[in-house]
Amino acid sequence: MTEEINNFKNKVLEKLHNSNYLNTFETINKDKHNYLELIKAEKIKFNILCIIVVVIITLSMVPTFLFSNENLMIISFIFLTILVPLIFYADKKKIQKIEMIKRNKNNKFKKIFYDIINECFPGEFLWSEKFYEHKYIEESCVIPQRFKDKYFKNSDDDVFCGTYKSVKFNIVETQYLPNDGGEYCTYYTVIKLDLNKTYKGHTVIFEPEVDEILPNNIFTTNQSNLSKITLEDIEFNKRFRIYSDDQIKVRYIFTTAFIERFKKVKNIFNTERLNCAIYKNSIYFGMETNNIFEFDTTKDKKQILVDINKTMDEITSLIKVIDILSLDNTTSL
């Protein structure tokens, strides 16, 4: 596995150099500088317009108060009612247009990078901008209710799909915003791996927060058939909570060997809390992340390579998980 991962990384770096891809970041940096300057200029224009509006309001109100002209008051009111929203709307649309151009440009270079990844990946690895299976993610319960109580889904940031060793996979990193109106977003990443065998049950595994007290059933009425499972592994019970609709079958899955593999998966993702669900012939892994699969295009070539290597490590974690869990084996799970 280590040799395969190293070969993959070396092929990607070689392709990047041969394609002159890294040199394109100089263009990106120049474009980003231009975008920032454009936005800065728009904000200056907006401030000037605001000053002009204040002056107009002041000047229009002087004759109104001096002469108590009712018609003049009505005209001034209508004029201001139309002008002010138009100024705000026009300025907002211009900035949105600049941001859209910037995003499209970045996505163009991101697509080039992931096309190279796909050429070198030991299977198929495709980048997309949309994910169509959020329904199954919700049904699987891989996203804890406590997380959904704090945040609401904003948009998908990165979406991938492909195949490795006959195992189909989907990865979606979604941006969430706080329900309390806070400005700081967070990201939640779900990895969906298809099983090579039929599993009709529903099992959820997650790590509770420190001192989190949970009832026997923590799910909505749609998952009311899930009940708490206690395994013989005391240490595993301390770290994870398991809920399932099949008390007997889940014990066949969570053998000592599987528990050890699951712990290794937790270490690979290097996340504070790992959540998992086995649902409708797929296994889901979910975790809070910090905008992964990204590289800062404002850096120089040397630093951008650091980010690219980090991104490849995040991609190869998928290979490691499939290999550790032996998902290509029809007798696994």
Residue 263 lies in a domain: yes
pLDDT at 215: 47
Number of C-beta neighbours around residue 170 at 10 A: 21
Domains in the chain, number: 2
* Rounded Cα distance, 276 and 140, in Å: 9
Whether residue 217 sits in one domain with residue 138: yes
- Classify residue 141 as left (phi > 0), alpha (psi -120 to 50) or beta: left
Whether residue 185 sits in one domain with residue 209: yes
Short-list 31, 154, 160, 156, CA closest to 99: 31
> Per-residue pLDDT tens for 280-322?
889 999 998 887 877 665 566 677 778 888 888 888 888 888 8
Whether residue 168 sits in one domain with residue 150: yes
- Domain final residue pick, 103, 120, 137: 120
Number of C-beta neighbours around residue 82 at 10 A: 10
* Rounded Cα distance, 283 and 30, in Å: 43
Whether residue 81 sits in one domain with residue 147: no
Pairing of β 282-289 and β 227-229: unpaired
Whether residue 227 sits in one domain with residue 94: no
pLDDT band (50, 70, 90) for residue 236: confident
Decide which of 130 and 40 is more confident. 130
pLDDT at 295: 67
> Per-residue pLDDT tens for 150-162?
888 888 888 999 9
Q: What is the mean pLDDT of residues 30-39?
A: 56
> Per-residue pLDDT tens for 52-86?
766 766 666 666 555 555 665 666 666 666 666 66
Short-list 38, 52, 53, CA closest to 94: 38
Tokens 């231009």 -> residue: 34
Whether residue 108 sits in one domain with residue 40: yes
Whether residue 144 sits in one domain with residue 102: no
- Domain final residue pick, 69, 96, 120: 120
Q: Is the pLDDT of residue 132 over 60?
A: yes
Residue 30 lies in a domain: yes
Q: What is the mean pLDDT of residues 117-123?
A: 90
* Rounded Cα distance, 69 and 61, in Å: 10
Whether residue 142 sits in one domain with residue 30: no
Q: What is the mean pLDDT of residues 171-181?
A: 88
Whether residue 131 sits in one domain with residue 114: no
pLDDT at 172: 92
Residue 329 lies in a domain: no
Whether residue 129 sits in one domain with residue 107: no
Residue 113 lies in a domain: yes
List strand residue ranges (DSSP E) for 220-314, in order: 227-229, 241-244, 275-279, 282-289
Q: What H or E segment, with its residue span, contains residue 228?
A: strand 227-229
pLDDT at 250: 85
Number of C-beta neighbours around residue 192 at 10 A: 23
- Domain final residue pick, 63, 98, 120: 120
Residue 333 lies in a domain: no
Residue 222 identity: N
Q: What's the mean pLDDT when you consider all of the chain?
A: 77
Whether residue 318 sits in one domain with residue 175: yes
Biggest CA–CA distance in the chain, Å, is: 91
Decide which of 88 and 5 is more confident. 5
Number of C-beta neighbours around residue 291 at 10 A: 13
pLDDT at 189: 92
**Cβ 237 vs Cβ 210: under 8 Å:** no
* Rounded Cα distance, 134 and 140, in Å: 10
Residue 330 lies in a domain: no
Residue 172 structural domain: 125-324
Decide which of 135 and 331 is more confident. 135
* pTM, entire model: 0.74
Percentage of the chain exceeding pLDDT 90: 9
